[in-house]
Structure 1
Amino acid sequence: MQKIIGLGLTAGLAGGIAAFVFARILVSPLVDAAIGHEEAHHHGDDHEIFSRALQENVGAGVGTVMFAVVLGALFSVAVAALSMHLSRRGIRTDLRWPVSGVAAIGFVAVNLVPALCFPANPPGVGQADTIGARTSAYLVILLASVALAIVAVAVAVRLSARLGTWSAVAVAGWGYLVSISAVALLLPRFDEVSDHFPAALLADFRINSLLTQALMWLVLGTVFAALLPRVLSTRMVDARR
């Protein structure tokens, strides 16, 4: 288990570095443009505690990589749990397929669905007095999405022997979609984009922010799947000694 978690940490590190480089190249200029637009419409005397260069290079880099490393550890635990569950039910498969599935489900549950409900906003978009409500709503949809995704995976595995893989996945997928849609409809909506904020800039920021997360999951899952056979073979050799 320690080697699996170590693999998750390594894959998370690779995913975090890839995401940071992507964000530094494509997202940071959009943030700078949003800040410039905000300053042009807001004539205040606010001063930055930390320089923009420090924030986008050190702060963003450390934050992105650390988040991805922690995510990699959780990812490895999820893969191990799913593997044991499949083994108990007598389902044998190449573990690289469950790894790819967990990565895809993780992106959908952790990033895509919350982003569709509450898209990321650049500086200058949003009101200070609604930060608490927006954060709470985002956390609710995030936790609900992750919990429902776990339930959907468990349902799909349980029904696979009775209905077949594709039918079980379809039933679980539709169940997740209906359930998370119901949760989303119960949450408040926040339309705080001012009329003068450039629509193209907002769209580019949201799309590239989501692509950053997609790249992180893609690299994490790919590295994990690529190195998993080597880790498993090493475990088998160690077990024979």
Structure 2
Amino acid sequence: MNSVSVRALLVRGMLAGLAAGVLALAVAYFLGESRVDAAIALEEAHAHSHEHGGEELVSRTMQATGGLATGVLVFGVAAGGIAALVFCYALGRIGAFGPRATAALVAGAALLTVYVVPFLKYPANPPAVGNPDTIGQRTGLFFLMVALSVLLAVAAVITGKRLAPRLGAWNATIAAAGGYVVLVGLAYAFLPSFNEVGADFPATLLWEFRLSTLAVQATLWTAFGLIFGVLTERLLLPRTGSAAASAPTATVGAVN
């Protein structure tokens, strides 16, 4: 794929990430912020008898609006750009998939490896949950789990491609995926775990908060896959009608 196509796909990936970020922002605001407010209320009630030093640097209103929007949209643009570069490499190399299918696979793999797998080991915690003394360790381990998940996923793809000539595409895919699951399971077993949820913290609120964070990521990556797939197909398969439908493989091959 030439540099012009890569640059055009990178721009489209960032735009798709921005659009997906807007949708994820709506989910985060309407679904997640109420749970955050409830957790903060519990935290303040629990600490009511203790003195608080100093004023808060950023108001809760700013955190729930400008701060939330900045974080989600910047993440969407950055993630979209990185995913677009992964798409450039993956197109035509992971099977006979067109642009839309490749975009969907990249988005699904990103959701699984970058968020779901680390989330199952180190789920997000609302305010009032977690020991402040371990927040640095928990953050570091979460990003370590992200790195391990991504590296193991890349290794699984490479292994699957190498096994395909001997085992066939289906068996090679099953073997590679099984190896990924086993190695992730070992990482789960050997990395330290944290159980810092207080006995008085409502289990329902914790569950709803964690589901809302998962919903934000699922919305972002699903929307990105759908939007980016449309944009890439229009770029790489510019012809419409029966001519484009009859020869998609040749057109994709011409830009690789």
TM-score scaled by length of structure 2: 0.86
> Contact (CA 8 Å) 2:91, 2:98: kept in 1 or not?
no
- The letter of the residue matching 2:82 is L
- The letter of the residue matching 2:162 is R
Q: Once the two structures are superposed, what CA deviation does each residue of 1:57-91 show, in whole Å capped at 9, x if it has no partner?
A: 101101111011110011011111112535xxxx5
User: How many angstroms apart in 1 are the aligned matches of 2:73 and 2:176?
Assistant: 32
- The letter of the residue matching 1:13 is L
- The letter of the residue matching 2:229 is A
Question: Aligned residues, how many?
Answer: 234
Cα 1:162–1:83 change in 2 (3 A) is farther
Which residue of 1 is the match for residue 244 of structure 2? none
The Cα shift of 1:140 comes to 1.2
Which residue of 1 is the match for residue 245 of structure 2? none
User: How many angstroms apart in 2 are the aligned matches of 1:213 and 1:7?
Assistant: 20
- The letter of the residue matching 1:117 is K
Gaps of 5+ in 1: none
**Counterpart selection for 1:185 from 177, 185, 189:** 189
**Counterpart selection for 1:31 from 16, 28, 36:** 36
The Cα shift of 1:152 comes to 1.3
Which residue of 2 is the match for residue 171 of structure 1? 175
- Aligned: 1:54 with 2:62: yes
**Counterpart selection for 1:67 from 62, 75, 89:** 75
Which residue of 2 is the match for residue 126 of structure 1? 130
The Cα shift of 1:98 comes to 2.0
The residue correspondences of 1:80-119 to structure 2 (distance < 5 A) are 80-83=88-91, 85-86=93-94, 91-119=95-123
> Contact (CA 8 Å) 2:39, 2:126: kept in 1 or not?
yes
93-102 or 218-227, which deviates more: 93-102
Q: Once the two structures are superposed, what CA deviation does each residue of 1:186-241 show, in whole Å capped at 9, x if it has no partner?
A: 111110000011110000000111111011000011101112111113598xx9xx
The percentage of counterpart residues that share the same residue type is 38
The residue correspondences of 1:222-237 to structure 2 (distance < 5 A) are 222-233=226-237
Which residue of 1 is the match for residue 158 of structure 2? 154
The Cα shift of 1:165 comes to 2.8
The Cα shift of 1:103 comes to 1.1
The Cα shift of 1:156 comes to 2.4
RMSD over equivalenced CA pairs, Å: 1.9
Which residue of 1 is the match for residue 14 of structure 2? 9
TM-score scaled by length of structure 1: 0.91
- Aligned: 1:142 with 2:142: no
The Cα shift of 1:160 comes to 3.3
- The letter of the residue matching 1:78 is V
User: How many angstroms apart in 1 are the aligned matches of 2:198 and 2:76?
Assistant: 33
User: How many angstroms apart in 2 are the aligned matches of 1:156 and 1:80?
Assistant: 19
Secondary structure class of the residue paired with 1:85: coil
User: How many angstroms apart in 2 are the aligned matches of 1:22 and 1:108?
Assistant: 19
> Contact (CA 8 Å) 2:100, 2:226: kept in 1 or not?
no
User: How many angstroms apart in 2 are the aligned matches of 1:41 and 1:160?
Assistant: 58
User: How many angstroms apart in 1 are the aligned matches of 2:166 and 2:101?
Assistant: 20
Gaps of 5+ in 2: 1-5, 240-250
User: How many angstroms apart in 1 are the aligned matches of 2:106 and 2:166?
Assistant: 22
- The letter of the residue matching 2:75 is F
Which residue of 2 is the match for residue 194 of structure 1? 198
- The letter of the residue matching 1:130 is T
